[in-house]
Structure 1
Amino acid sequence: MRKKITIIGAGNVGATAAHWAAAKNLGDIILLDVAEGIPQGKALDLSQSGPVEGFHFGVKGSNDYADTANSDVVIISAGLARKPGMSRDDLLAINVAIVKSCAEEAVKYSPDCVLIVVTNPIDAMVHTAFKVTGHPKEKVIGMAGVLDSARYRTFLAQAIGVAPKDVNALVLGIHGDNMMPMVRLANVAGVPITDLLSAEEIDAIVHRTQTGGLEIVNHLKTGSAFYTPGLAAVEMAEAVLTDSKRVLPCAAYLEGEFGISGYFLGVPVVIGENGVEKILEFELTAEEKEALQLSVKAVEKQMEATGL
């Protein structure tokens, strides 16, 4: 049976996600947006690359949620993007209303879908989608850890001079300044990064990872990152559509794992056809527990601001 992916929001992140999903031949794609003509034009343009790239699934642009019916995965990327001088939290008030509407409509037409939330601030937005839809917790996932870990791995690979795919590294916690790049677990093909880089070099990379989104925003000036955020969401969607049991860092709902309950927070999870199938819990050091609590406090503040 053909798989179906809906991407809500035809801006840079959404359109790029559609591009990656088409290139990977993951299924039929609906690119949806409130702006008339934008999703239709981008979908038509993308579909015409099929003969060149070799993908054979359909790509359709729409302004009607009815076209999204029976989607296996719905990626929500709609919302205001950051600009220089803005924090992710500055987007909260506007994007809560947008994500609320998108999530409610998505689940109305696709009650069995897995929701992947990309809109910032992600940890609050995935909480919003969960609360307003009543969707099962395992089927509501926030994209952040895949992106943050990709940035971390990239910076480490550049500093060490190795292929990025040979760097194994994980970022936990909130998608924000209090995110927690795990130094203790990071390695290159099993070799700890602490044996390859000085403490000063590692500290600089950790800080650059924590501010990686802002670095791109400051360069672009009129928007935020979209190539890797789009791909990160699609990597999660691919794990669902192929039931591949990938282990990916995602914002999942915690019920006691890592000593935390009632929050969506970035942790390593197993993703399959039903969404989050397992949270991989492991023992943290006292210092790591303290750092993770900073994420909890930041997410709690965001959650209170949503009013949900």
Structure 2
Amino acid sequence: MARKKIAVVGAGNVGATTAQRLAEKEIGDVILVDIIQDMPQGKALDILESAPVYGYDSKIIGTNEYEETRNSDIVVVTSGVARKPGMSRDDLLKINAGIVKGVVENIVKTSPNAILIVVSNPLDAMTYVAHKISRFPKNRIMGMAGVLDAARFSTFIAMDLNVSVENIHAFVLGGHGDTMVPSTRYTTVAGVSVEELIPKSRLEAIVKRTREGGAEIVNLLKTGSAFYAPSAAVAEMAKSIVKDKKKILPCAALCEGEYGINGLFVGVPVKLGERGIEQVFEIKLNNEESAALKRSAEAVKTLCDQVDKLL
């Protein structure tokens, strides 16, 4: 059976590491695209030359042209300016909206049937840009955020309890950033609610650290933003799609009435299979969670209203 074709647009830290993970896990053959001459070709060749050591047969090429990506099954959009210390995701809006618009216009011409995974920040708004420009059906367009946020939440819980991360199922809703809604009620450790295991004050500190997870890394790196965990999250999503695993993962999906949200991409639990988003799971929220999700959706709407003026 032919391997799936996955295009990764943007060969910076996030894009190149995503290409590496997709190749190593043999999720598909990878085309790494960037406007900088020779750079994606160099990174792709370096990843390809790792294959004899790591033992994978995925093909990977680098290119400056979208023609090489023609008829991709999945396109991962990582293009855009990375956050710098003191810069909010919202500061990136104007610059990255223009970049993502151009990328998506090229994708529509070359891979009109692709499933789009958007990684560029501010993520919920950039997924909205991609949808607005591509006009792809809602099942074929999503943002990578929830998988990353849930991974950060799981990491901090595992550190606190000194248990395996594999025992933790973290549940995160809402926009990617300061308004996200990590649900302690639905987050479990070996099936037991985390609320039973960690005192409220410590849990609140973990939730706060999860919300600020991206900024914490930006401040430590000083010259860029996270890329190891974001690329791992993309690979997890791509694997569920390519292998039709139908995993329930939190992704930025277009809500049309679910959770009382309309016309916005917000982090919700979805079933990811070969058709992309096959179902949005609507779970029962308490008043506090509903109010927090509403606030998060309003913050996303503010950005999308700005996008409408820009495009």
TM-score under structure 2 length normalisation: 0.98
Q: Report the Cα distance in structure 1 between the residues aligned to 2:179 and 2:22, rounded to whole angstroms.
A: 30
The Cα of 1:2 is off from its aligned counterpart by: 2.2
8 A contact 2:249–2:272 mirrored in 1: yes
The Cα of 1:46 is off from its aligned counterpart by: 0.4
Query: Residue in 2 aligned with 1:142?
Result: 143
Query: Residue in 2 aligned with 1:31?
Result: 32
Q: Report the Cα distance in structure 2 between the residues aligned to 1:226 and 1:149, rounded to whole angstroms.
A: 15
Q: Secondary structure at the match of 1:219?
A: helix
Q: Secondary structure at the match of 2:305?
A: helix
Question: 1:231-250, CA deviations, whole angstroms, 9 ceiling, x for partnerless residues?
Answer: 11111111111111011000
Structure 2 counterpart of 1:196, which letter?
L
Q: Report the Cα distance in structure 2 between the residues aligned to 1:135 and 1:126, rounded to whole angstroms.
A: 11
Structure 2 counterpart of 1:294, which letter?
R
Q: Report the Cα distance in structure 1 between the residues aligned to 2:132 and 2:119, rounded to whole angstroms.
A: 16
2:163 paired with 1:162: yes
Q: Secondary structure at the match of 1:123?
A: helix
| RMSD value, Cα | 0.7
Query: Residue in 2 aligned with 1:58?
Result: 59
The Cα of 1:37 is off from its aligned counterpart by: 0.9
2:200 paired with 1:196: no
Q: Secondary structure at the match of 1:271?
A: strand
Structure 1 counterpart of 2:258, which letter?
E
Structure 1 counterpart of 2:231, which letter?
G
Structure 2 counterpart of 1:227, which letter?
Y
Query: Residue in 1 aligned with 2:183?
Result: 182
Question: 1:24-70, CA deviations, whole angstroms, 9 ceiling, x for partnerless residues?
Answer: 01111000000011100000000000101111121100000000011
Q: Report the Cα distance in structure 1 between the residues aligned to 2:57 and 2:82, rounded to whole angstroms.
A: 31
Q: Report the Cα distance in structure 2 between the residues aligned to 1:87 and 1:110, rounded to whole angstroms.
A: 32
8 A contact 2:158–2:165 mirrored in 1: yes
Q: Report the Cα distance in structure 2 between the residues aligned to 1:150 and 1:57, rounded to whole angstroms.
A: 26
Query: Residue in 1 aligned with 2:124?
Result: 123
Question: 1:159-194, CA deviations, whole angstroms, 9 ceiling, x for partnerless residues?
Answer: 011001111111100001000000101111111111
Structure 1 counterpart of 2:223, which letter?
T
8 A contact 2:24–2:58 mirrored in 1: no
8 A contact 2:254–2:263 mirrored in 1: yes
Structure 2 counterpart of 1:219, which letter?
L
Query: Residue in 1 aligned with 2:301?
Result: 300
Q: Report the Cα distance in structure 1 between the residues aligned to 2:305 and 2:257, rounded to whole angstroms.
A: 20
TM-score under structure 1 length normalisation: 0.99
The Cα of 1:6 is off from its aligned counterpart by: 0.2
The Cα of 1:278 is off from its aligned counterpart by: 0.2
Query: Residue in 2 aligned with 1:207?
Result: 208
Unaligned runs of 5+ in 2: none
Query: Residue in 2 aligned with 1:14?
Result: 15
Q: Secondary structure at the match of 2:57?
A: coil
Query: Residue in 2 aligned with 1:110?
Result: 111
Q: Secondary structure at the match of 2:220?
A: helix
Q: Report the Cα distance in structure 1 between the residues aligned to 2:204 and 2:250, rounded to whole angstroms.
A: 21
Moved over 6 A (4+): none
The Cα of 1:107 is off from its aligned counterpart by: 2.2
Q: Report the Cα distance in structure 2 between the residues aligned to 1:2 and 1:179, rounded to whole angstroms.
A: 35
Alignment of 1:210-289 (within 5 A): 210-289=211-290
Structure 2 counterpart of 1:89, which letter?
D
Identity %: 52
Q: Report the Cα distance in structure 1 between the residues aligned to 2:237 and 2:108, rounded to whole angstroms.
A: 18
Q: Report the Cα distance in structure 1 between the residues aligned to 2:176 and 2:28, rounded to whole angstroms.
A: 29
Structure 1 counterpart of 2:39, which letter?
I
Question: 1:243-296, CA deviations, whole angstroms, 9 ceiling, x for partnerless residues?
Answer: 110110000000111111111000000001111000011111111110001111
Q: Secondary structure at the match of 1:237?
A: helix
Q: Secondary structure at the match of 1:35?
A: coil
